[in-house]
Amino acid sequence: MLVDEATKFIREKWIEFNDSRRLNFRDYVKLDTWRAISGQLEYTGVYVIFEGDKAIYVGSAGGGKHPLKYRIGDLFGYSPGSKSNPYYHPLTRKLTKKTGAKDPEQALDEVRNFYLESCSFKVVKTDTIDQARMLEHVFIILLGHPKYNA
């Protein structure tokens, strides 16, 4: 991708992002199993999570067989058998530490509730994971380095 093409791509995707609507996690995650709902977000792209009106995290997904739907589902995931890293998503890992709960499942319940009650997200579709990763880095800069991307 040449510089002019990259600049045009970024500009178009930034406009698309700003014009897109916020999505509610309840519409994309099964609340009984905490897994992603099939048939939605089945593509590569970048996502931005908001707390109220403030962007708090930017990520990308779509490498291999892991489209956006799985990455959004990862926010709610937990593997109690893993002692070093029981949470599937780095944002969830950071937020569970902030809860102060000693029990990992209680901490995860608090974070899940936070996502469902206080957060929304936007997605921008891309053709490749390289495009998504590039946009992830650009959006982090353009959104003023959201606090959980540090």
Give the whole-angstrom CA distance, residue 142 versus residue 134. 12
Query: pLDDT per residue over 87-99, tens digit each?
Result: 789 999 899 989 9
The token pair that represents 39 in the structure block: 């048939």
Give domain 3-149's CATH architecture: 3-Layer(aba) Sandwich (3.40)
Distance (Å, whole) CA 94 – CA 41: 24
Could you state, in order of their start, the residue ranges of all structural domains in the chain?
Answer: 3-149
Quickly list DSSP for the chain: --HHHHHHHHHHHHHHHHHSPPB-GGGTEETTTTEEPTTSS-S-EEEEEEETTEEEEEEEE-STT--HHHHHHHTT-B-TT-SS--BSSHHHHHHHHHH--SSHHHHHHHHHHHHHHHEEEEEEE-SSHHHHHHHHHHHHHHTT--GGG-
The first and second tokens of residue 55, run together, are: 């962007």
Angle between helices 90-99 and 104-118 (to 10 degrees): 110
pTM: 0.93
* Distance of alpha carbon 131 from alpha carbon 127, whole angstroms: 7
pLDDT digits (tens, 9 = 90+) for 27-77: 999 999 999 999 999 999 999 999 999 999 999 999 878 899 999 999 998
